[in-house]
Every structure is written in structure tokens, then in C-alpha cells.
Amino acid sequence: MSNWQQRESYLTDVAERCLRGHKSFDLRRSHLVEASQISKGTIYNHFPSEADLVVAVATAHFKNRLERAAIDQALYPDYLQCFLMHHCWSIRDDLFYDRFIIARVMPNSELLAQATDDNRYAFEQVYAEYIEWNRLIVEAMGVVEGFNRAELVANYLRGAQINCNDADKHYKDPHLYYQFSYALAQLLGHSDKRLPKLSHYIDWLTELEETADAA
């Protein structure tokens, strides 16, 4: 990773931390100067417009999702369980860090149109990869005739993330993930398959806590 890439990764990390708990993307490039201790000129070189900052943070967000997708695919050989647990992890991650802002604002065609070509392309590439990963996992579960399941699920997932934020759900609540997975399986047309029990989510949350404590 080049110095430029390392610095941009650092800046998007700082921006993401500054946005925790926010329901609108009200962070500006000028705010990053004090938060990051990096000069205004350097920050403006990385993000030529406010739209570039939003798009860059969103790109980092979906890169994180893709990295986790690879981990979950290795952990769960069953495609349905992999899909359910990946999106449970995503909700838990957003609840834990209180970072639902990207689910609220991206993708956004107007913001993307305002961003520079490099930042727009970087986002579109990583976002397309993530959408394709989801599509392939859904397809691997077995096609269920009727509705466009992938589209239904995509809309539900985004809404579920925002609803969790608005309803002040707690990341340690196993019932949240249990009910979420049941609803997701229904939308996928696979509610007849064996789904994880509540005890699975209790153990899963405990394991995540222990892993975090050991880190």
C-alpha cells in the first residue's frame, strides 16, 4: 500500500469515527483537519469535493463488508447460513459502532455524479463486487420461483439497518438476530430449511465478545 493509500485509509477511518451516531452526513473536509491532524491542503487533495469525502467513506465501508464476506464464506459452508450470519454481523457491527450513516446516504446517484472520476469508479467497483457476492450466494441457495428475491432482500436489508438505528436496538440482543434471520429466510423463500436456533445467536455473540476482548 502506497503512502497515499495509507493516508487515505487513515482519513476515511477518522471520518467514520467522527460520524458515529450521526443520522446525516454532516462531516465536512474542514472538520477533518483538527480530527486527523493532517493539513487542509492534503485533505483537499484526497477529497477535491465534499461529495468525494462521502464517496470515499462509503467505499471504505463496502470494502470492509467484502472482507467480512470472505471470512463468513469460509466459516459457513452452507450458503443460507453464510448469508444470514453475514448480514447479522453487518447489523451487529453497525449497532456496536453506531455507524448507520452509509446505509442512509449511499448509494446516491447525485453524490456520485459530483465526485471525481477516481473516487466514483472506486466506489462503483467495490459496491458492484459486494452486490455480486450477495447475488451469487442467493443463487447458490437454489432458485425459488416467483418474486425477484435478490431485489426484495436488498431492499429489506437496507431498511432493516435503518430501522435498527431508529429503534435504538442493542447489539447484544440475540432475539434481534434470530428474528432478523427468520424474516430474511422468509424473503429468500427458504423458511422451510433448518435455521439457526436462538441459542446459536447467544453463542455467536459471546464468541464475538471473547474475540474482541482477546484482541
Map out the domains of the chain as residue ranges.
3-214
Q: Residue 115: exposed, middle, or buried by beta-carbon count in 10 A (0-12, 13-18, 19+)?
A: buried
Q: Are the beta carbons of 133 and 154 closer than 8 angstroms? A: no
| Mean pLDDT score, 125-150 | 87
CATH of domain 3-214: 1.10.357.10
Instruction: Compute the Cα dihedral for 15, 83, 197, 184 and give only its sign.
Output: positive
What is the DSSP code (8-state) at residue 195?
A: -
Q: Are the beta carbons of 7 and 42 closer than 8 angstroms? A: yes
pLDDT of residue 188 exceeding 80, the answer is yes
Which amino acid, residue 171?
Y
Q: What is the pLDDT of residues 140-167, one digit of tens each?
A: 998 777 667 777 888 889 888 888 888 8
This prediction has a pTM of: 0.92
